[in-house]
A and B are shown apart, each in its own frame.
Chain A
Amino acid sequence: MSTSLRTETGPYFGDFGGRFVPESLVAALDELTNEYALAKVDPAFAAELMELHRSYTGRPSIITEVPRFAAHAGGARVILKREDLNHTGSHKINNALGQALLTKRIGKTRVIAETGAGQHGVATATVAALFGLECVVYMGEVDTERQALNVARMRLLGAEVVSVRTGSRTLKDAINDAMRDWVTNVETTNYIFGTVAGPHPFPAMVRDFQKIIGEEARAQVLELTGRLPDAVTACVGGGSNAIGIFDAFLDDPAVALYGYEAGGEGIETPRHAATLTKGRPGILHGARSLMLQDEDGQTVESHSISAGLDYPGVGPEHSWLSTIGRATYLPVTDAAAMDAFRLLSRTEGIIPAIESAHALAGTLELGKRLGPEATILVSLSGRGDKDMETAGRYFDLLDEGAQQL
C-alpha cells in the first residue's frame, strides 16, 4: 500500500462519518474539534496525558502469552494485550483521561457520558473524581440491572447515574438521553463519548486516545517474537478497543485484522448485534455508518449477552475498513463467547470481560484456520469482575439463595 490508512482525521472515512446533529450542538462540536486540534500538537498536553497513563492507569499494559488457551486454537501462538489490567478494568480509561484533560482545557465543569456495560461510565466517573468535575452517566435500565455492580461503583465515585427508560432501555437510548442533556447544558457540559461512533470529531478523537493500545502492543510483540503478528483480533461494539489495537497495524498489509461482533442468539435470528455483518448504511447518533435498521430507517433493537456490544450501530471508521477490505468482521454468538470466557478462566487464570470473550472465541476459530505457525494478538479489552452475576447465572455457579445481589 502506498498511501497510509492511518492519516484519516474525519469528518468522513470514505462515505462514512459526518455530523448529523441538531444545529444547537454544532458550536460545541466545532469547539471540541478546534481545541482537540490544538491539544494534539501541544507537547504539554501529550506529556500530561502520558504521565497519567504511567502513574494512574498503569501503562504500558503488559502482553501475556497464553499457551494453555492456545492449545485450543489450533496451536497458534496467542498473545493477549492486557487492557483488563488498567485502572478501572478496561481500555475505556485511555479515552476518558484524554477527554477529561480536554474538558479542563476548554474550561467546562460538568461531564456527561453514556454507558452500556458500565465500563465507560466507570472510567468517566473515575476521571471526574480525579479532576473534580461534576459527572452524570446515562445508562439504559436493562443495563443497570445486568451491570448492577458498575452502577454502585459509579455512585461511589460520586457520579449521578440516570437509568434510561425510553426505547429499548439499552446503550442506544442512553446515548439519546446524553445527547438531549448535552443540547440543553452545552454551555457548562462536555460530553465524554465512549466509543469511536457519534458525530465528528468523536470517531477520530476517540481513536487517537485509544491507539496507544496498538502502538504499545506492536512494539511488545516485535520484542517478544521478533516479528509482527499474523493477525490482530478484537471485539467490536461501537469499536473503540478494536480501532485502538488495529490502528498501529493498518499500514502493515501482512497483518490481518479481525473484528468480532455480537452474534447474540445467531445472525439468522433477529436477536444479535452484528452491525457490520447484517447492517446497511444509515444515520445513527450523528454519523453515517452501517447500522441495524428496518426498511423505513427505524433503528432495530440489538441483542447481546454482553451489554458493551449490545449496540445497533458501529463507528464509521470500521464501516470504511470493512468496505475497503482492510479489516474483516465476523459474528460470534453468546454461546461461543461464554465458552471462551470459561476457557480462558480455566486454562490461564484470567477472567475476561464477556465483551472481550467474543474476541477470544473468534481467535479460537481463527487459530485453527491459520495453524500452529501463526501468531495472533488479541485485545483483551476488559476484565470480567463486572460479569460475575451474568456468568454465575449462565453457568449455574451460584449457590441457592445467593442469586439476589
Chain B
Amino acid sequence: MTATTKTSTPMTPNRTSRVEATIARRKAEGGGALIGYLPVGFPTLAESIEAAVALAENGVDIIELGLPYSDPVMDGPVIQAATQQALANGFRLRHGIEAVAAITARVDAPVLVMTYWNPILQYGVDRFADDLLAAGGAGLITPDLIPDDAADWFAASDRTGLDRVFLAAPSSSDERLAHAVEVSRGFVYAVSTMGITGARSDVDSAARILIDRLRLAGATSACVGLGISTPEQVREILGYADGAIVGSALVKALSDGGVPALGALAARLAAGATGIRAAV
C-alpha cells in the first residue's frame, strides 16, 4: 500500500552503466568527469538541443538534461527563470524524450534526465522509463525523490537498467549516505552545500567532507554539484571527487550569449577538467 519501507538491495543491473563507464574512464586518465546541465526547451526546444550538442562537442562528458517543472524547489533564480520560460513556450514532457533522442543521435556523451517526480508520475513511471530507454537516455537524476519513497522507480530502473542518481547532502546521516551509495547507479550526486542551484564564489568545504564520507560508505562514483561555475572550481573538485556538475553558469551563458557563448564556457570548464588530468 505504501512505499515507506526501505528497498532491499536492488537486483544487479542488467546492463552496464555508460555514465559509470564514462566517469571511470576520465578517472583513469587522471581526473574526473565534467557534467553539464541544461533545461529542455530553453530558449526553444530546437536551441536547447543545439546547446546540449554544443556541450558535448566542447568537452562536457555527461549531459544532464532538466525537464521544466512548475514548482522546482531545488532551483535558484537562473534555472527557475529558464524553466519558467520553457513552460511558457509550451514545453511538454514528450519534448524531453524527443530532445534526448535528438541529442543521442548526434553525440556519444551519455544523457541523464534531471526531473522532479510528479511529471514522471503523471506520464507513468514505467512508460517514461521505456520511452527514455528507447530514446537512448541513460537514466534519471531525481532531486525530490528520496530512496525511501522510490519503490516504483526502483522497479522500473531495475527492469530497464536505467541509471538512478540519488542525492547525498552534508546533512545526511551516515546510514542514509550508505543507502544512497548502495541504491544509486551512474553516480551519487553530492550536494556541495546546503542550498539550491546557483553559482557561488566559494564551493563549500562541506563538499570535500561529504565526498570523504561517501568514500567511507563505499562510493566509487560520486560527483559534486551546486554552485560550481568556473574552471578553477572544476579543477579543485576533481582533485577529490569523480565528477563536477555545472548548471546555472551554463544556463546563464546560454541565456546571455546563445550557443556560441555556451560552447566557449563549456570549453573553458573542460580545460579546467583537463588541467587536473595534465597536472596529476
Contact = CB atoms under 8 A, between A and B. Distances in A.
Interface in A153-206: 166-167, 172-173, 176, 179-180, 183-187
A12 interface: yes
B167 A23 contact: yes
Nearest to A280: B122
B118 A283 contact: yes
B71 A172 contact: yes
A172 B73 CA distance: 11
B43 interface: no
Contacts of A180: 73-74, 76, 196
Interface stretch (B57-65, B169-177, B261-269): B169-177
B171 A186 contact: yes
B191 A23 contact: yes
A297 B119 contact: yes
Contact of A298 (B70, B168, B176): B70
Contacts of B172: 23, 26-27
B171 A296 contact: no
A388 interface: no
B138 interface: no
B9 interface: no
B118 A284 contact: yes
A180 B149 CA distance: 21
A185 B195 CA distance: 8
A297 B118 contact: yes
B273 interface: no
B143 A22 contact: yes
Interface in B234-260: none
Contacts of B70: 167, 298-299
Contacts of A22: 73-74, 143-144, 167, 169, 191
B84 interface: yes
B121 A297 contact: yes
Contact of B176 (A19, A23, A28, A299): A23
Contacts of B116: 283
A11 to B, nearest CB: 6
Given A20-B149, A22-B169, A167-B70, A298 B195 contact: no
Nearest to B72: A176
B102 interface: no
A347 interface: no
A183 B196 CA distance: 7
Greatest chain B CB density within 10 A among A30, A173, A176, A187 is at A176
- Interface magnitude class on chain B: 35 or more
B149 A184 contact: no
B120 to A, nearest CB: 8
Greatest chain A CB density within 10 A among B3, B118, B196 is at B118
B146 A167 contact: no
Given A18-B3, A19-B146, A282 B121 contact: yes
Contacts of A183: 73-74, 194-196
Contacts of B73: 21-22, 176, 179-180, 183, 285
Contact of B2 (A12, A167, A185): A12
A45 to B, nearest CB: 25
Interface of B: 1-4, 69-74, 76, 80, 84, 87, 92-93, 116-123, 143-146, 148-149, 166-173, 176, 180, 191, 194-196
30 contacts: A12-B1, A18-B2, A18-B3, A18-B4, A19-B148, A22-B143, A22-B169, A22-B191, A23-B169, A24-B167, A24-B191, A24-B194, A27-B169, A27-B173, A28-B171, A167-B71, A183-B74, A183-B196, A184-B194, A184-B195, A185-B194, A282-B121, A283-B121, A284-B71, A285-B73, A286-B144, A296-B119, A296-B122, A297-B69, A297-B122
Interface of A: 11-12, 14-15, 17-24, 26-28, 30, 166-167, 172-173, 176, 179-180, 183-187, 280, 282-286, 293, 295-299
